[in-house]
Structure 1
Amino acid sequence: MAVKTPLKWVGSKARLMPQLLPHLPKGKRLVEPFAGSCAVMMNTDYEEYLIADVNPDLIHLYQYIQMDKEQFIQDARRFFELSNEEVAYYKLRASFNIEPEWQWRAAMFLYLNRHCYGGICRYNQRGHFNVPYGCYKKPYFPEVEIRAFAEKAKRATFICASFEETLQLVRPGDVVYCDPPYIPVNPTANFTQYHTDGFTQDDQLRLASLLHQLSADISVVASNSDTHEAHNLYSHFTRHTLTAPRSIGAAKGSDSSVGELLAVSGENAHV
């Protein structure tokens, strides 16, 4: 059973780990330019981790837990104990969007993540978190997961950086795993506003190109949607299709799984 993470996360790899693990090669350090919920870090056993993301709220939360888990738990619990009312959620969301102090924002971010709809992380063009209230009966406070994360984080370095900046830090013996915002399978699925700047088609092209260059000397694994465009971008890699559970946008009673592309370097590419 996969180790759970402090955050709820759309696209989390927690339930996909049994399929993903056989394709992650051995190495001293795992480099992840797209941190997400850190499910891959929590379910692997590398000596070191370099975890990066362009979202400062996400990285600050991880850094705060790493720095002082007890204080983080105390600060975050205060918000969970305030109220689970819709009015309280929107009031705290408004406060979060103007809060300048990174540690308070980190604690608020956990509250928003656990109380918002579907664990979605989304910002508007002003950089304001804008996910609506989730209306959950009793949102879970993940103290056990926070403590487990803090223990694993002793091996990790967390940085707020773009994928280009992060990949420049790769060194011999590293393994790179990339789980970027996915190429949309259809126009209505184009959700890339995980960060104010979004993730464009040009970003997808640059990422695939950089990973292809790196794969000459470094073990590289990348996830994306199971689309013709993604297969074309990663045509130099061995490509596998994994079956991923889907929790957002699936109708009740419908097939709630979707195919994902996993591109792996160092093998003969599929024809």
Structure 2
Amino acid sequence: MAKPNKTTLKWAGSKIRIMKQLRPHLPKAKRLVEPFAGSCAVMMNTNYEQYLIADVNSDLINLLDALAFVPDGVIFEATGFFNQNNNPSDYYRLRNEFNSPKSGMSQVRQASLFLYLNRHCYNGLCRYNKQGKFNVPFGKYKNPYFPQKEIDSFCDKAYLSKASILNLEWQDTLSLVDFNDGVYCDPPYMGSGFTQYHTSGFSDADHEALASALKDINDIQGNPITVSNSPEAKELYADLGFTIHEIDAPRTISAKGNRKPAKEIIAVLEGVK
């Protein structure tokens, strides 16, 4: 079995390490719709003809869009940041620039700063304070990796699959699901505590609304649905008729330093023709 393709960004909850377990449960469809795109680990490790990747995080989508359409600009500018001495002073200076008003900043500059912060911040986290400011501290890495290969691969994949890259709330993304699409959702996990990847969190009520919306899409249009979540969401999805698969997933980030495998669920609704 070939090693999974890595992604441009480091990302909490990335599906890279469980792709072998996840892939058999993903929807069979021409186009995959992902309302919680994250680092695009699923896109980079599957072979759908088309993709609609969306996320509420505008910084993330700005970077993915730039990598798809102006990768050379991002590579040139971000390389300059990576070639600096890796120290807290430069990190916080660039973080302050990133947190300044975006109206006077080009897409390439904003994307390059986000890539730099992701690869130089603590654990590759993406977290914001209540004012919407990126607030992850310096990561203290000796030689942060510049993901040239991963950028090239993403650009090629986005071009060949005619990927749509959209900054949308999950509700708006689901409104774009067509009859022949498959849907994969990887929301912030229920009970995880890691919900502030955007200024708005993701509550239990949000989880319930998402699960119900996915059930409605399957009932009305027949689209196949797959959802990743924590065991805390098992009852929610089982009660709606999803088939539940339990897996052990490597834990890459833990507030208490515990990196033992964690239980996860994969909830599935088969497509109806």
TM norm structure 2: 0.92
Matched, 1:266 2:273: no
CA deviations over 1:133-187 (Å, ceiling 9, x no partner): 1101100000010000000011211000011000000001101000000111xxx
Aligned counterpart in structure 2 of residue 60 of structure 1, from 59, 62, 70: 62
**Deviations, residues 55-76 of structure 1 (Å, cap 9, x unaligned):** 0100010100111111111111
Gap change, CA 1:255 and 1:91, over 3 Å in 2: closer
Instruction: State the match for 2:44 in structure 1.
Output: 42
Please tell me whether the aligned partners of residues 125 and 196 of structure 1 are also in contact (alpha carbons under 8 angstroms): yes
CA distance in 2, matches of 1:192, 1:25: 26
Partner of 2:204: 201
Any idea what SS the aligned residue of 1:39 has?
coil
Structure 2 counterparts to residues 120-135 of structure 1, below 5 A = 120-135=125-140
Counterpart contact for 1:181–1:199, Cα < 8 Å: yes
Alignment counterpart, residue 121 of structure 2, candidates 102, 109, 116: 116
The SS at the match of 1:165 is helix
Whole-angstrom CA distance in 2 between matches of 1:86 and 1:134 = 9
Equivalent residue in structure 1 for 2:185, among 178, 194, 205: 178
Query: 1:99, 1:105 within 8 Å by CA — same for their partners in 2?
Result: no
* Match among 241, 246, 249 for residue 246 of structure 2: 241
| Paired residues of 1:242 and 1:259 also in contact (CA < 8 A) | yes
Comparing 31-40 with 199-208, which one deviates more in the overlay? Answer: 199-208
Amino acid of the structure 2 residue aligned with 1:64? A
> What residue is the counterpart of 2:110 in the other structure?
105
Quote the offset at 1:250 in angstroms: 6.6
Does the Cα contact within 8 Å between 2:252 and 2:259 map onto a contact in 1?
no
Distance 1:221 1:215 in 2: 11
Once the two structures are TM-superposed, the CA of residue 264 in structure 1 deviates from its matched residue by 0.4
Give the Å deviation of 1:109: 0.3
- 8 Å Cα contact 1:93/1:129 also seen in 2: yes
- Percent identity between matched residues is 51
**2:6 aligned residue:** 4
Counterpart residue identity of residue 212, structure 2:
S
| Structure 1 residues 89 and 42: alpha-carbon distance in aligned structure 2, compared to 1, 3 A threshold | same
Structure 1 contact 241–259 (Cα < 8 Å) conserved: yes
- Secondary structure of residue in 2 paired with 1:91: helix
What per-residue deviation string (whole Å, max 9, x for no partner) do you get for residues 49-94 of structure 1? 0000000100010100111111111111111112210111111101
> Which of the residues 143, 147, 151 maps onto 1:146?
151
The one-letter amino acid paired with 1:14 is I
1:256/1:179 CA distance change after superposition, 3 Å? same
Q: Which runs of 5+ in 1 are unaligned?
A: none
- Alignment RMSD: 1.3
Paired position in structure 1 for 2:175:
168
Q: Kindly provide the CA deviation profile for residues 110-132 of structure 1, in whole angstroms up to 9, marking residues without a partner as x.
A: 00000001111000010000001
CA contact (8 A) 1:250 1:256 kept: no
TM-score, structure 1 normalization? 0.93
Q: 1:212 aligns with which of 215, 218, 221?
A: 215
- The answer to whether the 8 Å contact 2:51/2:164 transfers is yes
Task: Quickly say closer, same or farther: Cα 1:82–1:255, change in 2 above 3 A.
Answer: closer
Q: Please name the residue that 2:226 is paired with.
A: 221
The total of aligned residue pairs comes to 260
Contact 1:113-1:121 at 8 Å conserved across structures? yes
Which amino acid in 2 is paired with 1:160? N
Contact 1:16–1:244, Cα closer than 8 Å, also in 2: yes
Q: 1:18 aligns with which of 20, 23, 27?
A: 20
